[in-house]
Amino acid sequence: MKEIASPGRTKMLLEKYGFSFKKSLGQNFLIDTNVLRTAVKAAEVDETTGVIEVGPGIGALTEQLAKQAGRIVAFEIDQRLLPILQESLQPYDNVRIIHQDVLKVNLKEVVETYFEGMGKIKVVANLPYYVTTPILFHFIESGLRFEHMVLMVQREVADRLTAKAGSKDYGSLTVCVQYYAEPQLIKVVPKTVFVPKPKVDSALVKLTLRTEPPVQVADETLFFKTVRACFHQRRKTLLNNLLHQLIDKKRKTELLKVLDELGIAPTRRGETLTIDEFARLANRLQTLVD
């Protein structure tokens, strides 16, 4: 039988079950097995690996994972896809489909329940574009040691995740993700290999979770608040953004003194600061934040 991701098998399954795509769920199914195999290879899965997948759709990526991984748990929010998945993945006894919103899932419980005996846990998913960032942070802030995350995301998001300081794509998402992980662009994926065809291209990115952050911060909450404040309005200077978002305007003189001591010009913009500069700035702002 042809693989699930082949155009013919995909069409057959969708027609058999009378499935119609819901735009509100960001449903775009891959019909290119080479792209899927690239994702599985990048994730470095084997029989000792447990994999969490989000939004399996009709099981195209799940099938490729099932051939390599020890165990797969896939979360599908759309109940209409469950009978299709039951048929398409019937040959694979190492797959568990759970009908639940992954954002409402206790990931630690999932790992304890389904991945006992697995040496490594990884996340491999074609993420729904409308909830990419919430799902991404749901995983990286879970406290679990996912060795890798290989994700299909919008090309624009991939550019932001992998951006360098000073570039147009560099922003708060870049800094916050790179605090937790080392991102790598694996492959740009054209919109033509999806059904229905989305309006933009996608990309495979690999996030290797860090064992410890690349910088030392005294207060992580304040660090992330500082980063977001500095990018609040990209065209505004560092000084203006901080005074409007984080620091009382009455303490402008004190803020200028801190910036001067750090060697950070108040006229700079957020996208020019490295993650190290953000960390040093946040550490010094502790005395200025009420």
CATH assignment of the domain containing 230: 1.10.8.100
Q: For the domain that residue 133 is a member of, what is the CATH number?
A: 3.40.50.150
Do residues 273 and 138 share a domain?
no
Residues 121 and 262 placed together within one structural domain of the fold:
no
Looking at the structure, do residues 228 and 193 belong to the same domain, yes or no? Answer: no
Bridge partner list, 153: 203
Do 231 and 199 lie in one domain? The reply is no
Listed residues 189, 209, 229: the one ending a domain: 209
Looking at the fold, whether 205 and 227 belong to one and the same domain comes out as no
Residue 101, annotated as binding a ligand: yes
Query: Region 235-244: what's the mean pLDDT?
Result: 96
> CA angle at residue 75 from 180 to 114, to 5 degrees?
80
Residue 113 included in any domain: yes
Residue 31 exposed, middle or buried by CB count within 10 Å (0-12, 13-18, 19+): buried
Q: Is 241 one of the annotated binding-site residues?
A: no
Please check whether residue 199 lies inside any domain of the structure: yes
Task: Supply the pLDDT for residue 21.
Answer: 87
**Which among 23, 15, 200, 209 is positioned nearest to 128, based on CA atoms?**
23
Tell me if 225 is assigned to some domain: yes
Residue 93 assigned to a binding site: no
Look at residue 73 in the predicted model and tell me its pLDDT.
Answer: 98
Q: Do 12 and 140 fall within a single domain?
A: yes
pLDDT tens-digit map of 154-208: 999 999 999 999 999 999 999 999 999 999 999 999 999 999 999 999 999 999 9
225 lies in the same domain as 204? no
Same domain, 123 and 257: no
Mean pLDDT, to the nearest integer, of 282-290?
A: 90
The separation between the first and the last C-alpha atoms of the chain, rounded to the nearest angstrom, is 64
Do 202 and 225 lie in one domain? The reply is no
Considering the chain, what is the average pLDDT of its residues?
A: 95
User: Average pLDDT of 118-145?
Assistant: 93
Task: List pLDDT tens digits, range 244-278.
Answer: 999 999 999 999 999 999 999 999 999 999 999 99
Distance between CA 126 and CA 30 in Å, rounded? Answer: 9
Domain count, the chain: 2
Examine the domain organization and report whether 36 and 102 are in the same domain: yes
Q: Is 265 found in the same domain as 143?
A: no
Provide the pLDDT confidence category of residue 228 given band limits of 50, 70 and 90: very high
Q: In this structure, is residue 2 part of a structural domain? A: no
Whether 54 shows a pLDDT value over 90: the answer reads yes
What pLDDT does residue 290 have?
67
Q: Which of the four pLDDT bands, split at 50, 70 and 90, describes residue 289?
A: confident
Top pLDDT among 222 and 2 is at: 222
Q: Does 159 map to a domain?
A: yes
Rounded Cα–Cα distance for residues 119 and 268 (Å)? 46
Position 1 in a domain: no
The parent domain of residue 248 ranges over: 220-285
Backbone angles phi, psi at 254, to 5 degrees: -65, -40
Q: Binding residue per annotation — 28? A: yes
The CA-atom distances, in angstroms, between 158 and each of 42, 74, 163, 170 are 15, 23, 8, 11
The reply, when asked if residue 46 is annotated as ligand binding, is no
Answer yes or no: is 126 a known binding residue.
yes
* 214 domain-assigned: no
Tell whether 100 and 138 lie within a shared domain: yes
Top pLDDT among 263 and 2 is at 263
How many of the other CB atoms lie within 10 Å of CB of 103? 13
